Amino acid sequence: MIDFLQEASGNVAVATALAAIPVVGAMGVALDHVRLSDMRAEMQAEADADALSKRNGVWLDDVRYEVVRQGRLDTSIMAVLGLTEVDFTVRAVARHVPPVRVYGPPAYMYLDGDAMDYNRIGVYCYNKAENTRSEIVILADNRGRTFDVDIPQCGPGESFELALHNVWYGEENFNNPALQRYYKTDTGVPDWQNANKARVLETYLCDTEQECYPVSMGGPLPEGPNRVPHIETRPCEPGHFMYYGWEDTPESFGDSDFNDIRLIMACPDVDETTREVRLIE
């Protein structure tokens, strides 16, 4: 009887040990799973921070910034089961929309009434991502007409742009498409060339409004015909001014003095309440 009990007890111990193997294995898998979840969460937090800070990633378009990271967990208990490592990927995408830049009316505007061509100057908003333009708001023409308009305030993702509507040989040709040219500053051509590659726009960034006037008006900007126009490459930041000077007929007989239309704009204020930075994926 004693031998039987001892034998039965031994069988129970063996059975218990065998039954414990999957339990211990499951606990080990659960432990590795917790470690994997913790590592993934930590790496996801780092990717989120990088996406919000625009570092260690790439731009998907003008407003979306993506960060992708690869991770690897060296397993402990699961290694006994033949799975020694687990690879994983985390991804974060943040939306970065710059704040609205608020422009006021021109500080100075001049359109030469003696110019042979008819000219109108206007402003509009351009959305680069969608390649769309708002309706052009006309400010003035060179026949002495000014228009009481509200300067458009461009929304997130839009830039403030200028447009020159040039009608050859006078306003009487306003309805003749063959004699009209539109020059828009969003074209991406640094010197704003016309169809024949002749420069039509000169730009200067100035610290003060007075520094944006030509010599004949008490300022420092050069004047005179047959000049190579200055092309400003620095951004128009708050507190500064931008000078624009157009040559309206450069194709064949323009004098390249870039004073047929003159415009001075105060650089825009920035409305920080419209800035958007947030995770979207």
- Determine the pLDDT at residue 267: 93
pLDDT tens across the length of the chain (281 residues): 545 444 544 444 444 444 444 544 555 677 878 888 898 999 999 999 999 999 999 999 878 999 999 999 887 766 666 777 888 999 999 998 888 888 889 999 999 888 888 999 999 999 888 889 998 999 999 998 888 888 888 877 788 899 999 898 889 999 999 888 888 888 766 566 665 667 788 999 999 999 999 999 999 999 988 888 899 999 898 999 999 998 876 555 567 888 889 999 999 988 888 888 899 98
- Determine the pLDDT at residue 185: 86
Q: φ and ψ at 23, to 5 degrees?
A: -65, -45
Token pair 């509200």 in the structure block, residue: 150
Report in angstroms the alpha-carbon separations of 86 from 26, 75, 99, 252: 17, 7, 42, 71
- Determine the pLDDT at residue 181: 84
Q: CB of 224 within 8 A of CB of 236?
A: no
Helix, coil or strand: residue 115 = coil
- Determine the pLDDT at residue 10: 46
